[in-house]
Amino acid sequence: MNKKNGKIKKVLAAIDFSLYSKPVLEYAEEIAGITNAGIYVINIINHKGIDKVEKAVNKQRPDSFNLAKHLAEESGRRDLKLRAMVKNINRLEEKKVKIIIGHGVPYVEIINAIDREQIDFLIFGPKGRSNLQGFLFGSVAEKLFRHSPVPVMSLRSKP
């Protein structure tokens, strides 16, 4: 929370496009409505996924993978998808939401965004895109709980 007055001024919703993404945005909107906070939405292009794409592309056409081009295209796709999600949440105004697309190790990039944007509260879903029991909670979520410099909320109910 804001170190000066203990109030939540900025909420960060970590979105992974799983079934929990819409409820995470809805909770972020509700918290922001109660606290009059700004909403930040973050999505991280996982470095493991980038490595898989690079191997697949280079297998077909050796040394043809262009990281900068791939990141620009994938960031653009994800930005559009996030904007569409934001539009579909009642009472959530797109112009009041800051969208952040990052790439790398998800929990590291989320922690970096918390510091960079001076976030006061983090919310995310309990499972990643794979929706495997314990997958996200055993990795990204656990690391966020351990290392986040701000309070963290993880949704636990089924979407």
Please state the pTM of the whole predicted model. Answer: 0.85
- In tens digits, the chain (159 residues) has pLDDT values of 655 566 999 999 999 998 889 999 999 999 999 999 999 999 999 988 888 888 888 788 888 888 888 899 999 999 999 999 999 987 777 778 999 999 999 999 999 999 999 999 999 987 654 444 433 444 788 889 899 999 999 987 665
Task: Give the separation between CA 42 and CA 140, rounded to whole angstroms.
Answer: 14
Every domain of the chain and the residues it spans: 10-154
CATH of span 10-154: 3.40.50.620
What is the four-CA torsion angle of 48, 77, 94, 25, rounded to 10 degrees?
A: -40
Alpha helices in the chain (DSSP H): 21-35, 47-60, 67-87, 106-117, 140-147
Task: Give the separation between CA 74 and CA 23, rounded to whole angstroms.
Answer: 24
